[in-house]
Amino acid sequence: MHEIDFYLVDAFTDKAFGGNAAAVCPLEEWLPDETLLSMAKQHNQSETAFFVRTDDGFELRWFTTQYEIDLCGHATLAASHVIFEYLDYPHTEIEFSTRFVGKLTVKRNGDWLTLNFPAWASEAVDNAPALLFYSLGITAAKEVRVARDYMVVLENQQQVEAIDPDISAMIPLDKMVCITAPGDEVDFVSRFFCPGEGVPEDPVTGSTHSMLIPYWSEKLGKTQLQARQVSARGGDLRCELQGDRVLIGGQATLYLKGKIFLRQ
């Protein structure tokens, strides 16, 4: 029987029930992929982060309830919070080795943790799929761009908040969908929809800011930006563009700590 520590952390918030929840499991060694996926399904969170300590830092992987994914911001923030706060980690920077996006670092400055992620360039979509507009319940957008996800730029924060999407209609698009606009009290706001996933709207999405930060940095003519994801739970992010990297800062708070008893 394996006993594994389990943490449930709210990321991109300083209070319970805000931000985006992620499960975090420190491992002594890697378990079979099918076991990791079964654990993620049992946890029933949008993502579970698993990590193993190495000589150089930590190996980090992320699983949804359906499969392993290439990058997850809030679960990386959650894993970092666990390492810094509960694993007697003496340094102010963590280096993670990942399978799909290389090395990632997270720095601690007081209560704020800053992710160093790759910047994603997006391309303009001249003829956006009609289904994209239909699924969002709109007839037009200020701009549509694409990288890993679709990015639909709207006029203002009120439009972003008012969107009531048909998530099931998005599934044939075969991409996740981010909507964004200038913010009232921050530089930009966003929401993020995940068709076909267990969580239809992600509360706070670190990874999509890899695409949002370069876009808004160019549009607003500044490299340091304040962002807010205006989902029902909501979350605040401190953002910075540094060449081909983006810095994404947020806070995190522990909600639950326990033990997994893995009998196989």
Known catalytic residues are 47
Residue 93: C-alpha distances to residues 81, 86, 101, 108, 126 (Å): 11, 15, 18, 6, 42
Which 8-state DSSP code applies to residue 173? G
Identity (one letter) of the amino acid at 211?
M
From CA 40, how far away is CA 64, in angstroms rounded? 6
- Got the DSSP string for 192-252? EE-TTSSSSEESS-TTTHHHHHHHHHHHHT-SEEEEEE-SSS-EEEEEEEETTEEEEEE-E
Residue 21: C-alpha distances to residues 87, 138, 145, 195, 249 (Å): 20, 30, 28, 19, 16
Task: Please compute, for residue 27, the number of CA atoms within 13 A of its CA located in the half-sphere on the CB side.
Answer: 20
Task: Compute the 3-state secondary structure of the chain and give helix, strand, coil in percent, each to the nearest 5.
Answer: 20, 40, 40
Instruction: Report residue 235 as tokens.
Output: 């979350």
Sort strands 93-97 and 58-63 into parallel, antiparallel or unpaired: parallel
Q: What are phi and psi of 76, to 5 degrees?
A: -65, -45
